[in-house]
Structure 1
Amino acid sequence: MINFEIKGQPVGLMTISIALLSSVGGGIFGYDTGMISDMLLMRDFLERFSDIREGCDSNGMNCSNYELSRVREGLIVGLLSIGTLAGAIFGAPIADYLGRRWAMTIECIVVSIGFLIQITTFTVWQQLAVGRLIAGLGVGALSAAVPMYMSECVVASFRGAAVACYQLAITLGVLLSYCFCIGTRQLDSDASWRIIIGLGFAFTFTLGIGIWFLPESPRWLMKNDRTDDARNALERIRGIKTDYDRAVVEHDYREIETNINMERENDAPFWQSWIECFVGSPGSKKLAYRTFLGMMMQSLQQLTGANYFFYYGATIFQSVGIDDSYITQIILGVVNFVCVFASLYILEHFGRRKPLYIGGLWQSVIGVARPPAEYDGMGDLMIVSACLFIASYAATWGPGCWIITGETFPTRTRARQASLATASNWTWNFLISFFSPFITGDIGFAYGYIFAGCNLFASVFVFFFLYETADLSLEAVNEMYSTKGLTAWGSEKWIPPGMSRRGDALESSNAEKYTFDHSDGDRFSQSSGNNDDAGNKA
């Protein structure tokens, strides 16, 4: 079985598969977000759904100009976010009830139904909007379930990179939507936009079927008293190859078991567990703090202004006289996709806090512009500035907030808190997508100063409130937040009790704590001393 190590922790081929295949959920998110920007400019789309027509013949046809009113454009774009908001609230609890895999499959079916409703409309723009609303239900639910599933499955040393793959898939989905749109825009028929929507089925089919080739979350299995299945899932994910690998599995199994048993002592009815997210619980310290932290981080991700470019980028660049706004969108999409690869390194080697507050500072400086009509060369400068802005976002805030959402909350309330955090993201997503046409119509490019202020605030917020969770198991993260007197800016130096550094959690403690009994291949025993077989890495 293929197996290698990251910071002393075994990572098997199954772990890589989990990161890549479940990330397709992010591809659905990105594709659905990106395709509408270019569809709003397609001739056939505007002929069918626009409500502002100029230079028409006596029958109201063959107009010289078609436009969507701000209200209609805002609803077509923004109703996706309303659906995702509702989907995010219910998505994680459904994943808690049915299991992560069943939930993701059902959510893919919901997205597919939304695509089908959109692709079968002819002239009724309301049907198109409702289709985006329904697709949004599935997209929002996936956006809560996928990062949670990833975080629960992979080892701490690979967790940041794995969840960053979700953002990578989002950017790939956006980029593919731009590329497909430039390929169909010349079609003088409804195929120009129907093909774009129809290609979305490839994402939903891949994830909906492919997820069944991956194991269920060990933490969900353990929480539902399926202990043997939980151990088997851990063995598949970790990639058992040596006695040391078996020791790692046993360490993870015991740690998860202990944590869940502790949480069960403070278990509460379903409705009460929702209230606990806001008022706290004796069993989990800073529970309400972490709820509001997750909600604020996801809100600030939207308030960076990045999705403003993804939703309305083509329209913006066309309005300032840039010859081919489709090409400009592809340039932004490529920058967005490529720079997420940098995040795989940055967020693992520099932690979560520093990249986020430095990224926020950079974005607050680069994300402003002046009216292109009043300044020569400002259109070109806008493209350069947009690329630099998107590069920073893709390397920091884009993936960083999904990582924070996946690793901040305790097991018992993780689904509900992840739902609340993700719902905050989609709330601001809708507000920005719906109101941006109205705001830019009144204040123009001064809109950039609003996002600059939000990015500056985001940096300050991260410094004072976000705890450093890199290189910690999910159980250790819970312990860190429960440490009395620990501040966010001091959390980078926090080390789990009994360890000399964060990276020791599965390098030395495993070897000292567990030994493999060769007389019984399925049994581990605790030992006070070292064991060469368990301690030596292959």
Structure 2
Amino acid sequence: MGVHNIMSRFKPSTEHSEASTPARSDSYAEKDHGIVDDSPVKYLTWRSFILGLCVSMGGFIFGYSTGQISGFETMDDFLMRFGEQQADGSYAFSNVRSGLIVGLLCIGTMIGALTAAPIADRFGRKISISFWSLIHIVGIIIQIATSTSWVQIAMGRWVAGLGVGALSSVVPMYQSESAPVQVRGAMVSAFQLFVAFGIFISYIVNYGTERIHSTASWRITMGIGFAWPLILGIGTLFLPESPRYAYRQGRVDEAREVMCKLYGVGPNHSVIIREMKEMKDKLDEERNAGTAKWHELFTGPRMFYRTMLGIALQSLQQLTGANFIFYYGNTIFKSTGISNSYITQIILGAVNFFMTLPGLYIVEHYGRRKSLMYGAAWMFICFMIWASVGNFALDLNNPESTPAAGKAMIVFTCFFIVGFATTWGPIVWAICGEMYPARYRAACIGMATAANWTWNFLISFFTPFINSAIHFAYGYVFAGCCFAAIFVVFFFVIESKGRSLEEVDSMYVLHVLPWKSESWVPPEGIVDDMHHPPSSPKAEGQAEHSEPTELRE
């Protein structure tokens, strides 16, 4: 059907395809027992659960680091030591100083996300996770070691951000490459669940320490932050390497053994045979094409499309306005008589965390596309109402005088967070972990994550300036972004629920229409054809032995 001719446009031909396969890479390698096992696979094994739980601590570090700083900026001791004295003797942060303290973390994360890929490809996923956990610890030490220099605080957050950004790239990559296909979406989405959990816990810790009138008010929160990278960095050393990474390094038996443990089945099970064969064929194709160059992230098979789509989805995750909502939470809740901003944070953090839990169910049972489109539509409606009430009904000078408007904004703030936490919060990470081929996965995820952190920085730094100019009308900007997100998903995102990573790759290369992708059924043998390099005459002569339906003793 001409598939090889199509694929030959994207890769050079070679004369000896068998040289590209690592020793004992045949997924149908001899086994000790006979017939292929087609018994049902457990939905979730305890090994998969432990792996997902441990590495998701990378998301917790992400959330805890970003959530704690908003509480610091209203603590009296932190203000006095790092703020600027005003004419009336009080202390406050200028927009620039506040923007740098908050935003330099995002600059560090952007750099960390971009530099994580080559390290992860060179030394492996699990070693990279432990290394970047250590970098994050160094950043915490730099911050906690000063009591007078705001520059040191900002630079410490920059160093800590290197670790956070790299972890936000490597952890979803490790999860997507290791997770059994039936739980892959939920496991990668658990990264966002732990982000929300980290934010929530940082709010609670800040609430417990803000009454202390010494450096302990903020140093305790920072100090507790040592625990999370220690758990992640040490715990990951006891986890297996990503089976797909191990396979690419020629450690075929290790990859098979890890897959068997994570699926909870034996080496003769059909799901293991299928996964191993797909990894083999994909690796043969990639090695046949030669060493990947950086420009192939844009010139490889359908790679410009996927690279830009990943960047767009991660950018839109920020442009939905979630961080903006958290930024404005204090003002909104103050209009109802809640004057303690730490209680405000806990309320918003609790909604964000507990509503992320249903997102893990939604991603695997309702699919990626529908969830993102319905979520974007929900957030668009919430933001339109929120911005209209804030702009036309709320008394900006004396919000307590318009309690009805304030209550309406509180309700739609929570409604918005429900929509974000169940859809765009977790599912974007899952999609970005699935749609790239292994050859480019590390670099592409790094670029997409860097885009997320770039917008994170831009929103956190410029929001105070924009707010002073247009106030709650700023919400219309995010409403427009949510509306645009519906069409981006409909026209460009392929449904990947229940499909192997190699099958998802084939769907993009074959230009499967996104709005028809959910019901698309691959023609028999098409995935194998696309991920198997052109064979030499010798290899063709051996083909009759490569696809047994039964494993004999």
TM, length-normalised to structure 2: 0.84
Residue number among 303, 306, 309 corresponding to 2:325 in the alignment? 309
Change (3 A) 1:147 1:296: same
What per-residue deviation string (whole Å, max 9, x for no partner) do you get for residues 48-105 of structure 1? 111242423xxxxxxxx32111111111111100000000001122111110011000
- Cα distance, 1:268 vs. partner? 2.5
Specify the code of the residue in structure 1 equivalent to 2:482: N
Given that residues 23 and 165 in structure 1 are in contact (C-alpha distance below 8 angstroms), is that contact kept between their aligned partners in structure 2? yes
Q: Which residue of 2 aligns with 1:46?
A: 79
Match of 1:489 in 2: 515
1:6–1:191 distance in 2 versus 1, CA, 3 Å: farther
CA contact (8 A) 1:24 1:207 kept: yes
Q: Deviations over 1:449-478 (max 9, x none)?
A: 111111111111111111111110001101
Give the distance between the partners of 1:119 and 1:11, measured in 2 at CA: 40
Change (3 A) 1:437 1:318: farther
Give the Cα separation in 1 of the matches to 2:118 and 2:241.
16
Contact persistence 2:103–2:461 (CA under 8 A) = yes
Q: 2: CA distance between counterparts of 1:200 and 1:134?
A: 14
* Pair 1:210-2:243 in alignment: no
Asked if 1 retains the 8 angstrom alpha-carbon contact of 2:43 and 2:183, the reply is no
1:415 paired with 2:450, answer: no
Q: Partner of 2:48 in structure 1?
A: 15
The answer for the alignment partner of 2:541 in structure 1 is none
Mapped contact 1:37–1:313 kept (Cα < 8 A): no
Deviations 1:119-147 (A, max 9, x none): 11111101000011000000000000000
Decide which moves more: 221-230 or 27-36.
221-230
The answer to whether the Cα contact below 8 Å between 1:336 and 1:394 also exists between their aligned partners in 2 is yes
**2:57 corresponds to 1:32:** no
Residue 48 of structure 1 aligns to a residue in which SS?
helix
Q: Which residue of 2 aligns with 1:237?
A: 262
User: How has the CA–CA distance of structure 1 residues 7 and 454 changed in structure 2, closer, same or farther, with 3 Å as cutoff?
Assistant: farther
Structure 2 equivalent of residue 518 of structure 1: none
- 1:340 corresponds to: 356
**Matched residue type, 2:311:** M
Is 2:43–2:182's contact at 8 Å kept on the other side of the alignment? no
1:256 match: 279
Q: Is the 8 A contact 1:36 1:311 kept in 2?
A: no
Larger relative contact order (Cα-Cα within 8 Å, sequence gap ≥ 6): 2
CA shift for structure 1 position 365: 1.2
Contact 1:154 1:162 survives alignment (8 Å):
yes
Aligned to 1:508: none
Bigger shift: residues 143-152 or 45-54:
45-54
Structure 1 unmatched ranges of 5 or more: 57-64, 506-523, 534-538
Letter in 1 for 2:244: R
Q: Map 1:481-520; keep pairs closer than 5 Å.
A: 481-484=508-511, 486-498=512-524
Q: Answer whether contact 1:41 1:315 (CA < 8 A) is retained.
A: no
Distance in 2 (alpha carbons) for counterparts of 1:305 and 1:237 = 37
In structure 2, the residue matched to 1:276 is 296
Q: Where does residue 509 of structure 1 map in the other structure?
A: none
Match of 1:115 in 2: 140
2 CA distance for matches of 1:212 and 1:23?
14
The structural deviation recorded for 1:317 is 4.4
Answering whether residue 458 of structure 2 is matched by residue 436 of structure 1, we say: no
- Structure 1 residue 315 displacement after superposition: 6.3
State the Cα deviation string for residues 161-212 of structure 1 (Å, max 9, x = none).
1011111100100000000010001111110111111111110000000001
- State the alpha-carbon separation in 1 of the partners of residues 222 and 327 from structure 2: 16
Shift of 1:16: 1.0
2:30 counterpart residue number: none
Cα deviation for residue 311 of structure 1 reads 4.9
Structure 1 residue identity aligned to 2:126 = R
CA deviation string 1:258-314 (max 9, x = no partner):
111111111235xx2x21112x22xxx311100000000000000001022345644
Q: Tell me what 2:124 maps to.
A: 99
What SS does the aligned partner of 2:86 have? Answer: strand
Change over 3 Å in CA distance of 1:42–1:312 after alignment to 2: farther
Q: 2: distance between equivalents of 1:41 and 1:199?
A: 19
Which residue does the alignment assign to 1:86? 111
- 2:518 pairs with 1:479: no
SS of match in other structure, 1:396: helix
Q: 2:155 aligns with which of 93, 117, 130?
A: 130
Q: 2-side partners of 1:220 and 1:243: how far apart?
A: 19
Tell me by how many angstroms 1:253 deviates.
1.4
Q: Is the 8 A contact 1:37 1:315 kept in 2?
A: no
* Shift in Å, 1:377: 2.2
Residues 1:373 and 2:398 are matched in the alignment = no
Q: C-alpha separation between the residues in 2 aligned to 1:150 and 1:249?
A: 17
Q: What is the distance in 2 between the residues matched to 1:107 and 1:386?
A: 35
Shift of 1:243: 7.0
Three-state SS of the structure 2 residue aligned to 1:169 is: helix
Distance in 2 between the 1:43 and 1:317 partners? 21
Provide the TM-score with structure 1 as the length reference: 0.86
Kept in 1, the 8 Å contact 2:437–2:501? The answer is yes
Contact 2:109–2:162 (CA under 8 A) maintained in structure 1: yes
Whether the 8 Å contact between 1:294 and 1:418 is mirrored in structure 2 is: yes
Higher mean C-alpha displacement, 22-31 vs 88-97: 88-97
> What is the Cα deviation at residue 527 of structure 1?
3.6
Other-structure match for 2:96: 71
User: In 2, Cα distance between the equivalents of 1:303 and 1:7?
Assistant: 42
Corresponding residue for residue 289 of structure 2: 266
Aligned residue pairs: how many? 488
| One-letter amino acid matched to 1:121 | T
Gap runs ≥5 in structure 2: 1-37, 397-401, 529-544
SS of corresponding position for 1:267: coil
Matching residue within 393, 399, 413 for 2:426? 399
Give distance in 2, aligned partners of 1:94 and 1:388. Answer: 40
